[in-house]
A and B are shown apart, each in its own frame.
Chain A
Amino acid sequence: MVINRQATLFDRHSRFDKEILPLLDPALRDWLLVLTPGRKDKLEEIRLRAGQPILLRFAKEEFTLTAKGELVKELAYGYRINQQTVHTTLDIMTQSSLYAWEEEIKNGFITLRGGHRVGLSGKVTLEAGQVKTIKYVSGLNIRLSKEIKGVGRKVLPYLLKDHQLQNTLIISPPQAGKTTLLRDLTRLISSGAVELGLRGVNVGVVDERSELAGCYEGIPQNDLGPRTDVLDCCPKSQGMLMLLRAMAPQVLVTDELGRPGDMAAIEEAVNSGVNVLTSVHGEDELEVRRKPSLREVLGSGVFSRIVVLSRRMNVGTVEKIIDCTNNINLLNSPLALAGRE
């Protein structure tokens, strides 16, 4: 899949300077400020662990910073940060209001302005067997949001029939571009694609893990199109029904199916005449069929298209797009695609 990067290099590293740097412990800011624009562009993750060296993950490499602020690959030379640095960073990120992120923390992460996600580790406190909060936070994983527009453009034609989106399931292992593809498809469906004869339609997004829209204080930080309504941090099964009743969407989008009740909500949406676009973790459709919790997803016959992603060539490699009505991989039948177009 060719990735059309509309975000310019300048936008990326100025976003880093504006949205990430001010949220770090002041001691770390000076070190990261000196990263070259090229490095900032490729930076994907910053990991802060109490007592361990700071780790920076770029596209395919991992570095640490020495006490002098130099980037090195040998972790033994890395400057070990202490728990106070982790706490100060978290304090600044949450504006000293950890309680305001209580629900997100139960899921193990918080979302920052700009859609960047920060995973937390530490001591988990339980209440009635459920996660209540994370105390004594000792590790932060800052994952930089990289909204890549245009990745869905090459996939979308295969998901349409008579200029209408078919119920689609994206199957993908972690870190293979599933959410990025889902987000861009959402934007395209909401905005419309004139060249494909697709009119923009109302889209409802249930963003249980704040990954698609990257909402900050309820406002989507990623571009999901002009006709998109988002329910942030809402359980999928409940959120889909809420959107159906309240927002009259023509397409419902949600990420990572798998909980009991998810399929029932999907079926209800489909029976109401709404098309669904969703995803599930897995290597391919065979593996998904084997998992007891996910067998139901494919066995239901709800989906007309299955997109299988991998990291084989690069993040977001589209392995297959299956037309479930005849089990044909549409990527191998360009004539079928041409006929539809």
Chain B
Amino acid sequence: MLRGLALLMIIAACGMYGLLMAQRYVQRPKQLRAFHQALEGLTTEISYGGTPLPQALQSACIGVEEKVAEFFSLTAGEIATGQPASQAWLESANKVRSDLCLNNEDWQVIISLASGLGTTDKIEEKKKLQLCSMRLLAQEESALTQGTKLAKMWSYMGFLAGATIALIIL
């Protein structure tokens, strides 16, 4: 009886891990889309409104997925307290990194924006933000095509791996 329970727990644990991994692949394109949306908002705030970064970042994250919004909100707060934007951007990225489902390549694109953020005129800022947005869109496309396959694989593989371990133990 006890042994059966233990085997069930192994299968459940491995299955859960697989589902969690699958969820990360499902969430990644969504979060990339949220970043893209926020950057579009930021571009509008900067190029048309000339809004200072702290307020522009706060406005840009309205209606964006909570975890992504937190990144922009944290950055805005740091800049408002007197930290240079590039430093605030990098620090916020480090703080939220573990909460988001993005991979290293995605983070490289996001972090690339830190250098010189807010130090040029509206036209240059717009160019930088649009370039980053486009790169994020490309990341999102690859995340969508790869993600669907990998998400399915992980959702089955967790349980299968658990069942295999259970069989070996039996």
Residues of chain A at the chain B interface (Cβ within 8 Å): 22-23, 87-88, 91-92, 94-100, 102, 132-133
Interface range, B side: 20 to 34
Q: B82 contacts A98, CB within 8 Å?
A: no
- State in angstroms the CA–CA spacing of A100 and B84 once bound together: 15
Known A91-B85, A102-B50: A96·B122 in contact at CB below 8 Å: no
- State in angstroms the CA–CA spacing of A133 and B51 once bound together: 17
Known A23-B82, A88-B84: A95·B121 in contact at CB below 8 Å: no
Among the listed A87, A88, A91, A133, which residue makes an inter-chain contact with B121, where contact means beta carbons less than 8 Å apart?
A133
Q: A22 contacts B121, CB within 8 Å?
A: no
B80 in the interface (beta carbon within 8 A): yes
User: Chain A binding site: helix, strand, loop or mixed by DSSP?
Assistant: helix
Q: B118 contacts A94, CB within 8 Å?
A: yes
Interface string of B109-140 (1 = CB under 8 A from A): 00000000111111011000000000000000
- State in angstroms the CA–CA spacing of A91 and B86 once bound together: 10
Q: A100 contacts B51, CB within 8 Å?
A: yes
Interface string of B29-61 (1 = CB under 8 A from A): 000000000000000001000111110100000
Q: Please give me the residue from chain A that is nearest to B51 by CB atom.
A: A100
Q: A99 contacts B121, CB within 8 Å?
A: yes
Which of chain B's residues have a CB closer than 8 A to the CB of A95? Answer: 52-54, 79-80, 118
- State in angstroms the CA–CA spacing of A102 and B50 once bound together: 9
- State in angstroms the CA–CA spacing of A270 and B124 once bound together: 44
Q: B50 contacts A99, CB within 8 Å?
A: yes
Q: Please give me the residue from chain A that is nearest to B46 by CB atom.
A: A99
Among the listed B50, B51, B119, B121, which residue makes an inter-chain contact with A96, where contact means beta carbons less than 8 Å apart?
B119
Which of chain B's residues have a CB closer than 8 A to the CB of A97? Answer: 51-54, 56, 85, 118
CB<8 Å pairs between A and B, sample of 6: A91-B85, A91-B119, A92-B82, A96-B79, A96-B86, A102-B122
A95-B52, A96-B85, A98-B118 known; 5 other A-B pairs, CB under 8 Å? A94-B52, A95-B54, A95-B79, A100-B51, A102-B122
Among the listed B52, B82, B124, which residue makes an inter-chain contact with A100, where contact means beta carbons less than 8 Å apart?
B52
- State in angstroms the CA–CA spacing of A132 and B120 once bound together: 11
A-B pairs, 6 with minimum CB distance: A96-B85, A96-B118, A97-B52, A91-B84, A97-B53, A99-B122
